[in-house]
Copies of this chain bind each other. A is one copy, B any other.
């Protein structure tokens, strides 16, 4: 059963290994979790990896001479095949679970493991699903993932809400200081569904997705899992249990002050300002919003900065402080050349959103000493 013989091109194998390696556990004492399982059966060569939170399976083109399977250390196996010349790679295993991997005149022997201990991916139930483009999914993850919480105190904050309602998908992340919301139109109507997907899963998927507009990805919803199927790849991940936060009650469209600004000017100014903040320090950037001008100031032991940026303003003047990194995170992922920010005083959250609410970013202000 274990004596596998397969041949495939270097490029196919490397592509597959790079994909499934995203689900290889890096900090574990269970060495099977550090392996890629290669399975050749029913005319198909599959690569699999599973870190018990997320599993990935991908098919690669190649020729099967004998069915079989073997688990190989992902790091070593990946390094070796990446270093091979651009030619065909042959993998042959023996009874002792030694894999002989050859390419032209180069021959490697790598000890493997049987697939018996490998935990297969949960079966994907294809009853409930939605379809979006790879481009959209990749983009929406990159535009929201920065505001998940890094610590586990509230498990729900480490994931992102995928909220399907009719023909719209809302993706939400929040960490207690800020909220990121993206609204995406779907091509058809679907049943209502709310699932919270682990941030780690989404981060890895965004790296694998080609990001092409014409290519699609199907999302399948199961009781404890979500599956993403695209190209020759299936990613299955646990979902985070629990009722996500009620976002709608945190949103409103009122404002005392509304300001329109060139995004790049504002971003570059704040990026300069953070040079004056030592790692781990919590210095706020102070915004003085006036007619036609926004003055930004920061003051630390390293030095001080003040800078003026042109704006168009509606409503009251305002003096407000922010964690500058939170503003940078938002400004880096908004595509618009000009953005609009809405304020309700110096103690209330600031909203950065477009007219159609395709994106809504909420950032809480911070207290500061106004005498500075």
Residues of A that sit less than 8 Å from B by CB: 73, 76, 79-80, 83-85, 105-111, 268-269, 271-272, 275-276, 302-309
Are A308 and B105 touching (Cβ within 8 A)? yes
Are B272 and A304 touching (Cβ within 8 A)? no
Bound together, the chains give a CA A215 to CA B92 distance in angstroms of 56
- Per assembly, the copies of the chain total 2
If A83-B271, A83-B272 touch, does A105 touch B302 (CB 8 Å cutoff)? no
Question: Which interface residue of A73, A105, A111, A303 has the most chain B CB atoms within 10 A?
Answer: A303
Are B268 and A85 touching (Cβ within 8 A)? yes
16 A-B pairs, CB-CB below 8 angstroms?
A76-B276, A80-B272, A83-B268, A83-B272, A84-B272, A105-B308, A106-B307, A107-B305, A107-B306, A107-B307, A108-B272, A108-B303, A108-B305, A109-B303, A109-B304, A110-B303
What are the residues of chain B within 8 A of A109 when measuring CB–CB? 303-305
What are the residues of chain B within 8 A of A85 when measuring CB–CB? 268
What are the residues of chain B within 8 A of A308 when measuring CB–CB? 105
If A85-B268, A110-B302, A302-B110 touch, does A80 touch B275 (CB 8 Å cutoff)? yes
Instruction: Tell me how far the C-beta of A136 lies from the nearest C-beta in chain B, rounded to whole angstroms.
Output: 33
Are A83 and B275 touching (Cβ within 8 A)? yes
Cβ-closest chain B residue relative to A80? B275
Are A307 and B105 touching (Cβ within 8 A)? yes
Bound together, the chains give a CA A307 to CA B106 distance in angstroms of 4
- New contact pairs (13) apart from A105-B307, A110-B303, CB-CB < 8 Å: A73-B302, A76-B302, A79-B275, A80-B275, A83-B268, A83-B271, A105-B309, A106-B269, A106-B272, A107-B307, A108-B272, A109-B303, A109-B304
Cβ-closest chain B residue relative to A73? B302
What are the residues of chain B within 8 A of A268 when measuring CB–CB? 83, 85
Bound together, the chains give a CA A2 to CA B307 distance in angstroms of 26
What are the residues of chain B within 8 A of A304 when measuring CB–CB? 108-109
Are B307 and A275 touching (Cβ within 8 A)? no
Bound together, the chains give a CA A275 to CA B76 distance in angstroms of 7
Instruction: Tell me how far the C-beta of A278 lies from the nearest C-beta in chain B, rounded to whole angstroms.
Output: 10
Bound together, the chains give a CA A108 to CA B109 distance in angstroms of 61
Cβ-closest chain B residue relative to A296? B106
If A271-B83, A272-B84 touch, does A76 touch B108 (CB 8 Å cutoff)? no
Bound together, the chains give a CA A269 to CA B269 distance in angstroms of 50
**Closest CB pairs A-B (n = 5):** A110-B303, A106-B307, A105-B308, A83-B272, A109-B304
Are B111 and A303 touching (Cβ within 8 A)? yes
A76 in complex: contacting residue of B106, B111, B303, CB < 8 Å: B303
Instruction: Tell me how far the C-beta of A56 lies from the nearest C-beta in chain B, rounded to whole angstroms.
Output: 23
